[in-house]
Structure formats: structure tokens, C-alpha cells
Amino acid sequence: MRVIDLPASLDHQTSDALFAEVMEVGGEKVLFDGRHLRFVGPNGMVGLLAAGSVAQDRSGEAPILELGAAGDVKSYLGRMGFFQAADGIFGAGTAFPRRPSGPSDVLLEITPITTNSDVHEVVDRVQKRAGAILSKTLGYPPTSVVQFSVILSEVCQNILEHADAPGWVAAQSYNWEKRLGRHVVIISVADLGRGFRGSLSDEHSARFGDRWGDVTALEAAFIHGLTRFPDSGRGQGIQQIRKQVRRWDGLISIRSGTARIADVPEWFDAPPLEEGLSDFPGTQINIVLPERVDDED
């Protein structure tokens, strides 16, 4: 059995080491050892679902997820709907606590996206919660609810249009008092599809020739607005998301294949482009929206 240790904090940055190990899995069964896990964000949760799915495909057996005795992590995973989403990905030996009943502080529980109706359900479900969080917690204007809904819709549509494979979306608000001194909302999407290079290859690879790869495909979509559609005006979701996130001084990063590209605000420390990462299938989109400060317009 191959044992993969989860870090104490699992987010979009620490997930890279997890993906690297998963991509080395052969025919052996996998145990994800999460006994030292103390925090997991939306990006870590959807990344763990993706990693578990890849481990199952590569080994031919459902992996096991072992969590520690600390109740906080299990309770939060339960509120986020992680165990429901993980049923069928992680197999025998994994404990799936019942989902807690009653009111929840979760903005958007982990939700599988497979059809357009899933997208509509996500937007409808989150609008009421988003209104309170965006206005009271982040200090955004009332019109931000519509713009936030557009972002959610577009990241979900990205799964349907480009992935042709399982995908998940989740969102939650946090108080980043020590890290940033402000509240934030985090939106995370992951899928196990073709990735940006695979999605854009038919329409655009010839023009780039030998330069075509994960980095070039991400730059083409993220910076230049190229899409898989031959006619202009279609498939502009990534551009819409990027512009809106920038207006709110937020962070957006996209991991696909062996590369990651990002719009990085001044308050976050990360490179705008990373390459040579482990070749993980599909795409991960991570968005962090910060609380407005007094000197912002």
C-alpha cells in the first residue's frame, strides 16, 4: 500500500505536493494519511476529491482517507458536504460521518457539476447567503451579488464546456486576521478533464507550433482571451472572471497540466506564472476576494 501524507494545512498552494505524489501511483492501493490535517480550505477539499479520483483510476482500487481524532476538521468537512461528495471516491476503511443538520455558515457546500441544471442550482442556492456575506462581511455594494453570481456561473460552466469529466465547486468565507487583517471569500473549482491545452488544441495549437504546451495555452486563454470557439464573442468566461476579480482587488489562479497562471494582487505573495509542476489532469481555479478597505472607491 502506498501512503500519501497530507500536510497540516491543505490549500491551493500545498496541494501541489499532493498532486505530485498521486501522479506517481502505480498499481498499489493508496492511503491518504490525514491524521495531522488541521485546516483544509475549499481548494484543498476539491483538490483532495480530485486526487482521490486519480488515485482510484491509477491503482484500480478506491483509496482510503484516514483523518485524525481532532473533531474540528471532521466537523468542518461535514458542514462543507465533503463526505457526501467523497462517497464513491474513497473506499472501505474511510469513515463517512453523517452530515450535520441545522443552519450552516457555509457559503457553498462542495457541489458536483455535471449538467447545466447543476449550475443554475448553485447560483440559486448561493445568492441569499452571498448577499449577506458580500455586504456585511466584505463591504461590497448590493450590486456585487449579481457579479458574484456571474463568477460562480462562469467557473461552473468552465467545467461543462472544457472538462468532459467530473468537477466540483465550493466557496466559503474566512477571517484572515493573521494573514491579511481582513475577511475573504474563497471560491474553488476542480475538474479532471482535458485541461486548457487539451481544450484549446484543435483551434489554436497550429499557430503556436513547437511552443504549444500548458503554459502557452494558459497564457492564450488568461491573457489574450483565446477560446476553443472559432467565432469571437463565445467562451469569454475566463476573461469576465479575471476582470471582475481584478476590480475587487482579488486573487485568481488557474492550475492546468504542468503550469499555473495567476493575477496576483499586492497583498498576496505568489509568482504570476509557474511551470514544470507535476502533470495533473484537468484544471483547478482558485479565487480569493478580500474585504474592502476604507480607502478603496
Q: What is the pLDDT of residue 140?
A: 93
78-128 pLDDT, tens digit per residue, is: 999 999 999 899 987 676 766 665 556 789 999 998 888 888 888 888 887
Q: How far is CA 116 from the centre of its chain?
A: 19
**Residue 158 exposed, middle or buried by CB count within 10 Å (0-12, 13-18, 19+):** buried
| C-alpha to C-alpha distance for 290 and 297, rounded to whole angstroms | 14
Q: Identify each DSSP E strand in 76-164 by its residue range.
A: 108-112
Which H or E run includes 252? strand 251-257
Q: Give the CATH architecture of domain 1-94.
A: 2-Layer Sandwich (3.30)
**CATH number of the domain located at residue range(s) 103-297 in this protein:** 3.30.565.10
Domain spans of the chain?
1-94, 103-297
| C-alpha to C-alpha distance for 9 and 14, rounded to whole angstroms | 7
Min mean pLDDT across 3-12, 115-124, 200-209, 280-289 is at 200-209
Non-local CB neighbours of 70 within 8 Å, separated by 6+ positions: 38
Give the pTM: 0.90
Q: And the C-alpha cell for 157?
A: 460552466
**Backbone torsion region of residue 220, taken as left when φ is above 0, otherwise alpha when ψ lies between -120 and 50, otherwise beta:** alpha
Confidence of residue 70 (pLDDT cuts 50, 70, 90): low
